[in-house]
Amino acid sequence: MTTTMQRDLFQPEQPNHPETGLFAEVVFDRPLDHAYSYAVPEELRTALAVGKRVLAPFGRGDRPTIGYCVGVHQTEPGRAVKSLAQVLDEEPLLTDHLLRLTRWMADYYLCGWGQVLNAVIPSGAKDRSGTRAASFVEAIPESELPAERPALTKKQEAVLEVMRRSEHPIELRQLARQAHCGPGPIEGLVQKGYARRESRRLDVFQDTSEAPTAPEPIHPLSTDQAAVWNQLHPALQTGGFRAFLLHGVTGSGKTEIYLQAIEEMQRQGKEVLVLVPEISLTPQTIQRFKGRCRDVAVLHSHLGNAERGGHWRRVAHGQVQVVVGARSAVFAPTRRLGLIIIDEEHENSFKQEATPRYHARDVAVMRARLENIPILLGSATPSLESWHNAHRGQYTLLSLPRRVLDRPLPPVGLIDMRHEKPRRFQALSDELEAAIRTALRDGGQVMLLLNRRGFSTHIHCPTCGHVEQCRYCDLSLTYHREQNMLLCHYCGYETAPTVQCPQCGKTQVRYQGLGTEKLQTEIEERFPGYVVRRMDSDTMKKPGSHARVLGAFRRGLIHILLGTQMIAKGLDFPNVTLVGVINADVGLHVPDFRAAERTFQLLSQVAGRTGRGPHGGRVLVQTFTPDHPAIALAGTHDYLGFVHSEMAHRRTHNYPPFQRLIRLIIRGEDQQETGEFAERLAGTFQTALANLKPASEGPPEVRLLGPAEAPVFRLKGYHRYHFQLQSASAGLLHQLVRTVLPTLRPPSGVEFTLDVDPFNML
């Protein structure tokens, strides 16, 4: 959005001008930085409102296009304008608060306001899923009837009597049942002028989500929890914007703080928005909310359109006190929002990787600021950005340094795989295998983490060195044995497994690398008689799969649970006495400055799954780099030590949180044409950068790196180049980008993407 539009949004509404025309400001799902003015025909004036969708002629061909009305005024635009064709919604889809928030998003994330609006409203709300068209009839008052009235049949008189006893219009089908008649007598009353009929949308959505079997008990606060509550409670009572960062080790009782904060808001008659990383991965947390809170709505992408639309309408009509959801729930249309809570605020899943490329945590903080309410961010391993904000005073830091009941954090043992005897096709070291046997013999349960799915992660020929790669991506294919297929985990390309090298024709093709599917096979062979289950995106495709497996694990029906990172968070199983990490180095050596932070967070989170019960627990981590700070410090639960080490590294290289980033990705099917445009785009930025400040003031404090081939150069059939802009000033970066972008038009077949505050550098 332009700076002028951003400024106008936050100014008080101006009085109407005396012109006779009515005009609407409309934005479309396009990368455009301004709204378009349309005349409002007389017949649409009563139906039009800000926040509704409209159908308007757009472009040279005046093609009917859906847009969003973001303003209505009587000021003459000063030029000829087209007229709106239709108003599509009976009620506004957007509140004033959401319009302000999405306007800020368009400005900050450098995309069109219409693109943001189209992305934040679920399809179920746009399509009115979960509703049906219904005819309603009501009796015309006696005072409005003519002196000479048509005669009525006995059936019609009976129907008219039923209508007059009702204070509101009655649905036609319901009226027919009450009057014991068909539609004929009702239609006759309408034709004779005794009744009028209107069409409405009737909400038929019913929340069928299961309620907890028993209410969630209220747990007495520990000393640490009480200290946190004493800091938080006054802010909840007085209201006003204030951001809190709750740093609590795993098992320290952060959820109980959330629940008490929610109950305080409910006493005040206000709503609470709770964001969690993945709804399907945190069923226990959801059940705790439902056990303690009234009228909970759950919003996430796994719901059908009717469910999402129904919950959206419930929230919009003020029928919900607590909204729990994943990333997109930050846009829930609450009316009296009093508090926002973000659990596991460090999680990467809060960042959207498609336009608009927003981060739900940062959007939530801005929403709290705009609505002037407190926000609470919680994590055992806060992101470095949030930690930095706390230490410069923008957030208030709250700490839970100990587990509830003073249970100790589990000891972590590092197994140096460099000293293990090389064994082909074996994932477990002797030490980890022995620990699993001991835990199972003593009646405990085991969780094993391997953040790679599939059976074999790469297939290569030892004769010529050929590696089976995706047809459309510069990535090796993964063998999935259950499907007997080679798959690309990025674009979904699949092909039959090979027994002969396509390059040299030899048949000694080797299937190597370790995924969760192969790990499950090894565990089942080594531990016969025990129940083993795997949790990854291959096995958890059916609705309710997560809840079923985790429920069985909680009841002790599963002895060993293995999987990817989805088993690392939000789970509380007191009988887990051993957690094993099969390969801690999986995500450590990728070309991404956040690799160490992600590794530390994942290891810390999975380690926290054990030692929560009276039997205690331990963690064993297999690694080839035990001295790396991310692994060594995770082994001692030393978050502060990791922050000190990683912050020094980030400061040296001017990476976030010390400087801001904007990443530009240029992609196209033609490699040469794409590369040439990337060079031209970077050159244009260099020129604009030189003109950003007068020479006497020194060079602008913006650094441009690139262009270069992206780490994954070919992805989904496109060749990709990227470069990044760095600066301590977000405003300076935005100014530079807004200066350059309007001057460039990529050639046909080439496109570029802007990613503000990128999280994925591949």
Read off the pLDDT of each residue in 553-562 and give the average, rounded to a whole number: 93
Task: Please check whether the domain covering 660-756 is classified as CATH 3.30.70.600.
Answer: yes
Question: Encoding tokens for residue 450?
Answer: 């391997």
Strands 458-460 vs 510-512: parallel, antiparallel or unpaired: antiparallel
d(CA 465, CA 502): 11
Counting Cβ atoms within 10 Å, is residue 455 exposed (0-12), middle (13-18) or buried (19+)? Answer: buried
* 45: phi then psi, degrees, rounded to nearest 5: -65, -40
Indicate whether 212 pLDDT > 90.
no
d(CA 445, CA 562): 11
Q: Is 3-121 assigned to CATH 3.40.1440.60?
A: yes
Does 283 have pLDDT greater than 70? no
Q: Sorting pLDDT into bands at 50, 70 and 90, what band is 20?
A: low
Q: State the Cα–Cα distance between residues 457 and 329, nearest whole angstrom.
A: 35
In the prediction, which pLDDT does 231 show? Answer: 96
Fold of the CATH domain 223-406: Rossmann fold (3.40.50)
DSSP for residue 500: S
Please state, in angstroms and rounded to a whole number, the distance separating the CA atoms of residues 424 and 404: 43
Q: Is 654 left (phi over 0), alpha (psi -120 to 50) or beta?
A: left
Peptide bond into 169 cis (omega under 30): no
User: Which residues have CB under 8 Å from 42's CB, separation 6+?
Assistant: none
Domain ranges across the chain: 3-121, 131-203, 223-406, 412-453+515-651, 660-756
pLDDT for 700: 61
**DSSP designation for 743:** G
Please count the other Cβ atoms lying within 10 Å of the Cβ belonging to residue 12: 5
289 pLDDT band, cuts 50/70/90, is: confident
Segment 202-211 mean pLDDT: 58
> What letter would DSSP give residue 574?
T
Angle between helix axes 96-108 and 113-120 (nearest 10 degrees) is 130
Residue with tokens 């005046």: 62
Strand residues in 440-522 grouped as ranges (E): 445-449, 458-460, 478-480, 485-487, 494-495, 510-512
- DSSP bridge partners of 275: 325, 342
Beta carbons within 10 angstroms of residue 6's beta carbon: 14
Report if pTM > 0.85: yes
- 247: nearest Cα among 269, 224, 265: 224
Which of 231-235, 283-287, 367-371, 638-642 shows the lowest mean pLDDT across its residues?
A: 283-287
Cα–Cα nearest to 56, from 39, 74, 42:
39
pLDDT per residue as tens digits for the range 85-119: 999 998 899 999 999 999 999 999 999 999 999 99
Q: Which amino acid is at 511?
A: Y
Rounded to whole angstroms, the Cα distance separating 199 from 749 reads: 47
Share of the chain above pLDDT 90, in %: 54
Same fold, 223-406 and 412-453+515-651: yes
Average per-residue pLDDT for the chain:
88
3-state secondary structure 322-333: EEEECHHHHHCC
Mean pLDDT of all residues in 569-593 = 88
Listed range (123-137, 207-221, 505-519) with the worst mean pLDDT: 207-221
Closest CA to 492 of 537, 545, 546: 537
Residue 209 has pLDDT above 70, yes or no: no
Mean pLDDT, residues 359-371: 97
Checking if the pLDDT of 1 tops 60, the result is no
- Reported confidence tier of residue 10, pLDDT bands at 50, 70, 90: very low
Amino acid symbol at 554: R
Which carries the bigger pLDDT value, residue 127 or residue 599?
599
What pLDDT does residue 66 have? 95
Q: What token pair was written down for 680?
A: 């031209």
Q: Distance (Å, rounded) from C-alpha 534 to C-alpha 744?
A: 49
- pLDDT tier for residue 149 given thresholds of 50, 70 and 90: confident
Confidence check: pLDDT of 368 > 60: yes
Q: Mean pLDDT over residues 287-310, rounded? A: 78
Share of the chain above pLDDT 70, in %: 93
What is the CATH number assigned to the segment(s) 412-453+515-651? 3.40.50.300
DSSP class per residue in 368-403: HHHHT-EEEEEESS--HHHHHHHHTTSSEEEEE-S-
Give the pLDDT of residue 19: 42
Contacts of 349 (CB under 8 A, 6+ apart): 277, 278, 326, 327
DSSP string of 154-221?
A: HHHHHHHHHHHH-SS-EEHHHHHHHHT--HHHHHHHHHTTSEEEEEEEEE-----PPPPSSPPPPPPP
CATH architecture of 131-203: Orthogonal Bundle (1.10)
Tens of pLDDT, residues 318-344? 888 999 988 999 999 999 999 999 999
Task: Please state, in angstroms and rounded to a whole number, the distance separating the CA atoms of residues 629 and 595.
Answer: 12
